[in-house]
Structure 1
Amino acid sequence: MIDVEALVVTWLAGRLGGIRVLAELPARFEEALPVVQVTCLPGPKLARPWNDRRPLLWRPRVDLDTYATTRAAATDLASTVSDHLIQLAGQGNQWGQVADVEEPAGPAWRPDYNPSVRRSGLTVELTIRAD
């Protein structure tokens, strides 16, 4: 199966002009904003073929948090991330390809416990077809 976090991190990092995109926030990340965090959430594996145990379709959800110094900057970055993720359809590797990208929860303000950052985020659902 595709490493979804790695795929999304690599895709966004190549399109966000030097903004850090990562799966795990490092200590004191707020000292170098903006930052995008990518977290893969569980999703169903569907349409198993009759002669193989590998699923034909997988629908992982990916949660994205954008961190910046202002609420407006975090929200703008979340919108930019959303725009780039729609273009992920058709990408993949020898293990599968992203067939579709849906956004069940679009860019929205998300409060954060860290008073040094402002956070916005979104959730996308990828449909991955096994090759």
Structure 2
Amino acid sequence: MTSRNVETMLTEAIPDALSIRTVTELHPGFEGELPVIQVQQLPSQSAHRPFNGRPLTDLIDIDVDIFGRNKDSVDDLAEILREFLTGWMPGGLSVVSDPPFSKRPDYNPSVKRSGAVYRFLIQHGR
């Protein structure tokens, strides 16, 4: 079974498609380099598993945060990113949950933040 690191795949695919820096961890002073997208894999589960066998599919939850200078730029980027994610289907991987982005708290007054949790389905053997 080939393991797919969706987090890593996204940190490569999003900048290639949208030219927006995408990271898994924010470093101190990141607000000087906005906009930035952060992706983090959450605890996930297998979806379809035959009796005493390897999973046929896995569900991978990815927390996606967009950080920008103002609400309008974050909202615009959220719309673009949502469209990209729902159409992004590298072999055997697809989005099964694509919620709209919503405002999230950020305690830095010079940063606006919006986020959503996307669920990806990985079909093994593809």
TM-score, normalised to structure 2, is 0.89
Does residue 112 (structure 1) correspond to residue 120 (structure 2)? The answer is: no
Structure 2 CA distance, aligned partners of 1:33 and 1:130? 36
Gaps of 5+ in 2: none
Structure 2 CA distance, aligned partners of 1:99 and 1:117? 31
Task: Give the % identical residues.
Answer: 34
Q: Per residue, is there more strand in 1 or in 2?
A: 1
Q: Per residue, is there more helix in 1 or in 2?
A: 2
SS of the equivalent of 1:42 reads coil
User: How far did residue 8 of structure 1 move?
Assistant: 1.4
Matches within 5 A, 1:90-109: 91-92=90-91, 97-103=92-98, 105-109=99-103
User: How far did residue 50 of structure 1 move?
Assistant: 4.1
Structure 2 CA distance, aligned partners of 1:116 and 1:10? 27
Structure 2 CA distance, aligned partners of 1:42 and 1:8? 17
Gaps of 5+ in 1: none
Q: Is the 8 A contact 1:106 1:123 kept in 2?
A: no
User: How far did residue 58 of structure 1 move?
Assistant: 0.5
Does residue 16 (structure 1) correspond to residue 18 (structure 2)? The answer is: yes
Structure 2 CA distance, aligned partners of 1:100 and 1:64? 13
Does residue 5 (structure 1) correspond to residue 11 (structure 2)? The answer is: no
- Which residue does the alignment assign to 1:43? 44
Does residue 58 (structure 1) correspond to residue 58 (structure 2)? The answer is: yes
Structure 2 CA distance, aligned partners of 1:100 and 1:78? 16
TM-score, normalised to structure 1, is 0.86
Structure 1 CA distance, aligned partners of 2:64 and 2:24? 9
Distance 1:33 1:120, change over 3 A: same
Q: Is the 8 A contact 1:100 1:128 kept in 2?
A: no
RMSD: 1.5
